Amino acid sequence: MQRTEDTTWLLISRLGYAGLAPFVILTLLLWLVDAELHPFIALAMAGYGAVIVSFLGGIHWGIGFRNAITSHNAPPVHFVWGVVAPLLAWVAVMMPAFAGLPLLGFVLIGCYVMDYRTWPAAGLGGWLRFRLHLTVVASLSCFIAAGAT
């Protein structure tokens, strides 16, 4: 019988890598379809990227709340970043794709940098390598997609 940690890791890694599929597929579509479809595909890409950034921001709220409950010491950076990152992603969605998609790529990198700085103190440092893989593919997808718009 597998250990619970192994089963959880397998589920999380499968879901994380599956979550890259829209980034990769939409990027490929932008390079393969007629230009008249680009606005729709780019909007789908930007919308998905913004959802992912919001999810990453939500993780920081979860860490902040956990710290507040368990140690009564919640560094404000978690709550602040949990709001700033989605706001930046929202701005990216409102921009033309040639500018908004690169902004999303940089916001995704910013999310990783913030995680790198804060997750070890929260006991989540072991997840950073996995997060790096996801960030590289998602960010590159945004940058490459912007080149097609």
- In this prediction, residue 2 has a pLDDT band, given cuts at 50, 70 and 90, of low
What distance in Å separates the CA atoms of residue 51 and residue 67, rounded to the nearest whole number? 25
Question: What per-residue confidence (pLDDT) applies to 1?
Answer: 41
Span 6-30, average pLDDT: 96
Q: Does residue 107 have a pLDDT over 90? A: yes
Number of C-beta neighbours around residue 64 at 10 A = 21
Question: What per-residue confidence (pLDDT) applies to 119?
Answer: 95
Helices (H), 1-149: 4-18, 21-32, 38-70, 76-94, 97-118, 128-148
Question: What per-residue confidence (pLDDT) applies to 3?
Answer: 61
Candidates 119, 120, 109, 117; CA nearest to 85 is: 109
Q: Using alpha carbons, list the distances in angstroms from residue 96 to 5, 26, 100.
A: 43, 16, 6
Span 34-40, average pLDDT: 96
Q: What is the pTM of this model?
A: 0.93
